Structure 1
């Protein structure tokens, strides 16, 4: 009798699976695009096709169509209501990989958009944030080689390619939200464009996304756009970069240097003129290609000088917009508040007094280093 009573009690307290659903009965949104034009929101969602995932796990499969839904309205709620009206299956946002914001959203509707997205939808804070001036439908309809689903794209897995060629560091929704509320933080949202000719299936070009630069946000204001060329000094040296290739070209010289896992620090310095701050960058480097007869030390000095020039160029390009891409202002605000207040009262410009670049260790891909040893002995 006791066993029967115990079994009945267990049945009463154990949860069942009455609310469970099969995965094929739900629309899983993996990408979202938010635009604002003609005084209306335009919301674009891309959904995961499980047949494509199954084929990618088993090997190559035939092309599977992309599933995209678009809704428009005076608010995001109106736009999503338009999608719900015709989508046929319930929408799930818990596996959203990326959110693409248009330039017009960053200029006019950033606060409202982030608030609505985080309050009204079950969006993971790990989703990546991007910006663009291109069509949302074109971006979310871009391809991945071998007919893999979009969740294998660089937009969905931005860290996978950093080990081969680093770009603007990826930015999560959580990081964006935290930094957006900080008036001293400069936010760089990676900007996306579409290349329709670089990758081909047979002889037919396919559209693929790539990072072309970054849109800059500071103190809840959109400051503008910086290209990859403008940001090269930052990309080569920021603490999230993993691998970059740097070319140094002069009249009778061509060098290619591989830079790995750079680290920069902001240091306080003292001089007769008072307290200053320097940017100190240390980068392990490998000389991969060399057309000169210069010694290793001479090559090292030339590359360090060239990288320093790229850093100064990036800093100046950011300063033209009112951006502080190496976060000196935020560093002073948190660690040297009196200096920050003094500079703020007299000027809006936060500048490094000195930039120091050190390649260490600096090696050659040529294990014998024959040229360098002979040149050094001379």
Structure 2
């Protein structure tokens, strides 16, 4: 009797293990944010989500996927994220985020805190500041063969002016590693 119960329990455990993740979904169900631009306005923020554009990706490109920007306004990052997810059929995925750029030469402490507290944004993401506006900065994206995030990250890593690119990460700049 004990052998039968034990074998039933083991069989049940194996079936549950083989069932897979209940949260797992298709790659097409997410918008993979590869870069973000943040511009402070008098009413909150403009946030540019530069997401992987798989419609432009070619089979032989490997990891070289172009990106496409979508801009949302919000009083906070969370507000803009919610607006994005209400208007788009895909869920935001920050797992591949490489670069966050603050535009108009302004970094915002409130936004930095939100980024640090966001559970899906890695502390290794590069944080940069640009004098350009959001529109000016991301205007080159449509002409790039790779994503804007990959373009910016490679530019920082290969720049002779930047000795330690990792020192520009969200966690290192703001003390949370």
**TM-score using structure 1 length:** 0.39
Q: Give the alignment's Cα RMSD to 1 decimal.
A: 3.1
Off by >3 Å, runs of 4+ in structure 1: 1-4, 143-146
Q: Given the alignment of the two structures, is residue 136 of structure 1 paired with residue 134 of structure 2, yes or no?
A: yes
Q: Given the alignment of the two structures, is residue 34 of structure 1 paired with residue 38 of structure 2, yes or no?
A: yes
Match of 2:175 in 1: 178
**Which one has a larger percent helix, Structure 1 or Structure 2?**
2
Q: Given the alignment of the two structures, is residue 52 of structure 1 paired with residue 50 of structure 2, yes or no?
A: no
In 1: Cα distance, 2:33 partner to 2:63 partner: 23
In 2: Cα distance, 1:74 partner to 1:143 partner: 25
In 1: Cα distance, 2:63 partner to 2:67 partner: 19
In 2: Cα distance, 1:37 partner to 1:52 partner: 34
**TM-score using structure 2 length:** 0.77
- Aligned residue pairs, count: 168
In 2: Cα distance, 1:54 partner to 1:125 partner: 31
Return closer, same or farther for 1:89/1:145 CA change in 2, 3 Å cut-off.
closer
In 2: Cα distance, 1:128 partner to 1:58 partner: 19
Higher relative contact order (CA 8 A, sep 6+): 2
Deviation at 1:70, TM superposition (A): 1.2
Superposed, 1:270-309 pairs within 5 Å as none
Match of 1:5 in 2: 8
SS of residue matched to 1:78: helix
In 1: Cα distance, 2:8 partner to 2:41 partner: 65
SS of residue matched to 1:32: strand
SS of residue matched to 1:47: strand
- Which structure has the greater CA radius of gyration? 1
Deviation at 1:6, TM superposition (A): 5.0
| Aligned partners of 2:100 and 2:126 also within 8 Å | yes
SS of residue matched to 1:95: coil
Return closer, same or farther for 1:19/1:80 CA change in 2, 3 Å cut-off.
closer
Deviation at 1:18, TM superposition (A): 2.4
In 2: Cα distance, 1:173 partner to 1:72 partner: 22
In 2: Cα distance, 1:18 partner to 1:31 partner: 28
| Aligned partners of 1:32 and 1:44 also within 8 Å | yes
Q: Given the alignment of the two structures, is residue 167 of structure 1 paired with residue 148 of structure 2, yes or no?
A: no
| Aligned partners of 1:36 and 1:104 also within 8 Å | no
Deviation at 1:49, TM superposition (A): 1.9
**Which one has a larger percent strand, Structure 1 or Structure 2?**
1
Q: Given the alignment of the two structures, is residue 156 of structure 1 paired with residue 153 of structure 2, yes or no?
A: yes
Match of 2:101 in 1: 100
Match of 2:81 in 1: 80
Return closer, same or farther for 1:26/1:87 CA change in 2, 3 Å cut-off.
same
